[in-house]
């Protein structure tokens, strides 16, 4: 490999190490299944690796991998054309406090409500409120206008208020696992 290839490979390895946990959280929220989330991240990182030289030069690898994850998941949803079902058990959380049961109930409610949103609404909610992207960043990832992000966010939040009124003011954090 040429000398310039080694620093690129090292940069990609560092990107994978530092960004994979956040990507897995986002993928989990998109898929509702830990194994599917891992597959989604692996597929997206594989495509990102192929384009790494260009992405590294442009400095937009994060947006590219998230956009790739979203598009791969939308393709899976379209192929399946069936309602998604979430697994019945949640992974244990180390160090859970005394209100663990309440938090678990809220997370289950959130996951159930997210599963009933449209693909685009779910993606907007995940990007905006779990990944903390701005409207402009979410629009770039999804390949839509900022206005579309705003309208889909409003529709998604209204639907979530109807589907899971118990979440209002609950302070549910971004880790829906």
Residue 97 sits in a domain whose CATH number is 1.10.10.10
Say yes or no: 98 and 72 in one domain: no
88: nearest Cα among 68, 70, 69, 104: 104
Say yes or no: 106 and 81 in one domain: no
87: nearest Cα among 26, 40, 25, 32: 32
Separation CA 126–CA 111 (nearest Å): 11
Domain span at 116: 91-171+173-177
pLDDT per residue of the chain (177 residues) written in tens, 0 to 9: 344 567 888 999 999 999 999 999 999 988 888 999 999 999 999 999 999 999 888 888 888 999 999 889 888 877 765 444 444 554 555 554 546 677 777 777 788 888 888 888 988 998 898 888 899 988 988 889 999 999 999 999 999 888 888 877 665 444 444
Residue 54 neighbours by CB under 8 Å, 6+ apart: none
Q: Which of 68, 85, 102 is the last residue of a domain?
A: 85
Say yes or no: 134 and 58 in one domain: no
Say yes or no: 98 and 143 in one domain: yes
Say yes or no: 32 and 77 in one domain: yes
Say yes or no: 56 and 34 in one domain: yes
Helix ranges, 59-134 (H)? 61-80, 100-115, 119-125
Q: Which of 85, 101, 118 is the last residue of a domain?
A: 85
Please answer whether residues 177 and 24 qualify as being in contact, where contact means their C-beta atoms are separated by less than 8 angstroms: no
Say yes or no: 109 and 145 in one domain: yes
Q: Which of 35, 54, 85 is the last residue of a domain?
A: 85
User: What is the rounded radius of gyration, in angstroms, for the C-alpha atoms of the chain?
Assistant: 17
**Predicted pLDDT at 96:** 47
Please state the domain count of the chain: 2
Say yes or no: 109 and 77 in one domain: no
């Amino acid at each position: 490999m040429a000398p310039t290839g080694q620093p690129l490979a090292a940069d990609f390895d560092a990107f994978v190490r530092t960004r994979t946990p956040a990507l897995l959280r986002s993928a989990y929220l998109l898929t509702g299944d830990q194994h599917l989330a891992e597959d989604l991240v692996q597929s997206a990182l594989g495509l990102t690796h192929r384009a790494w030289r260009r992405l590294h030069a442009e400095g937009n690898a994060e947006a590219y991998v998230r956009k790739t994850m979203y598009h791969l998941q939308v393709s899976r949803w379209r192929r399946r054309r069936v309602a998604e079902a979430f697994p019945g058990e949640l992974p244990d959380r180390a160090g859970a406090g005394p209100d663990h049961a309440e938090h678990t109930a809220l997370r289950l409610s959130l996951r159930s409500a997210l599963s009933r949103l449209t693909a685009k609404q779910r993606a907007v909610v995940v990007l905006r409120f779990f990944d903390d992207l701005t409207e402009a960043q979410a629009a770039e990832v999804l390949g839509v206008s900022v206005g579309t992000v705003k309208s889909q966010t409003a529709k998604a939040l209204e639907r979530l208020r109807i589907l899971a009124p118990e979440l209002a003011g609950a302070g549910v954090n971004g880790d829906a696992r």
